[in-house]
Amino acid sequence: MTDAIIQTIDTPDGPFTILSDADARVLASGWTDDVDRMVGRVRATERPTTVTRGETDAAATVLAYYAGDLDAIDEVPVAQFGTPMQLAGWQALRRITPGRPLTYAEFAVELGSPNAVRAVASICARNAPALFVPCHRVLRTGGALGGFAWGLDVKRSLLDREAGVPALLA
């Protein structure tokens, strides 16, 4: 991979950065303005050699999501690189309905591997295009948040937004 575009926008959960390839596919995204951290989320062999600040096609969908169109993120193209199980897991994450999170155990069953709870947790942890591939919709058994690369406050905010809980204005 050679060229990528990076853009940071403001959201109610803080700065959100999107790294897209030349085909407008999101390679990585998350709640940070740290370019190196964002590029580092992409598998080393697939990282872009040139990253230029610019406008990404996906930015408008993030703003639409935060404005209440929770399905806006569903059609944004992403490019992910991993094992067949990781790729299947990332595709399955995109099918989780907003406001109806799954537990890691339920997600493992969804993938056809009910005993692979640790593996599905790893799939979530290695998900580079956060929000567009909504790994925040997977919780620990009992409803505890579990982990999230961008912090539990962001995860809770996203889940509350998707459950219809009004966001508190700071």
CATH number assigned to the domain comprising residue 134: 1.10.10.10
Segment 87-106 shows an average pLDDT of 94
Q: What pLDDT, on the 0 to 100 scale, is given for residue 71?
A: 94
Instruction: Indicate whether 29 belongs to any domain.
Output: yes
Checking if the pLDDT of 89 tops 80, the result is yes
Instruction: Say if residue 62 is in the same domain as residue 91.
Output: no
Name the active-site residue from 135, 139, 154, 158. Answer: 135
**Which of 73, 85, 92 lies closest to 115 in space, CA to CA?**
85
Segment 61-86 shows an average pLDDT of 95
pLDDT-above-90 percentage for the chain: 84
Q: What pLDDT, on the 0 to 100 scale, is given for residue 167?
A: 53
Instruction: Indicate whether 59 belongs to any domain.
Output: yes
Q: What pLDDT, on the 0 to 100 scale, is given for residue 170?
A: 38
Q: What pLDDT, on the 0 to 100 scale, is given for residue 14?
A: 97
Which CATH number is 22's domain given? 3.30.160
Please give the mean pLDDT across all residues of the chain: 93
Checking if the pLDDT of 148 tops 50, the result is yes
The 3-class SS string of 64-125 reads HHHCCCCCHHHHCCECCCCCHHHHHHHHHHCCCCCCCCEEHHHHHHHCCCCCCHHHHHHHHH
Segment 95-116 shows an average pLDDT of 92
102 strand-pairing partners: 138
Is-catalytic flag, 124?
no
Over the stretch 39-54, which tens digit does the pLDDT of each residue have?
999 999 999 999 999 9
Q: CB atoms < 10 A from the CB of 103, how many?
A: 18
Write down the pTM of the prediction: 0.93
Domain coverage including residue 127: 84-162
Instruction: Indicate whether 169 belongs to any domain.
Output: no
Of 75, 105, 136, which one is at a domain's C-terminal end?
Answer: 75
Checking if the pLDDT of 13 tops 90, the result is yes
Instruction: Say if residue 96 is in the same domain as residue 157.
Output: yes
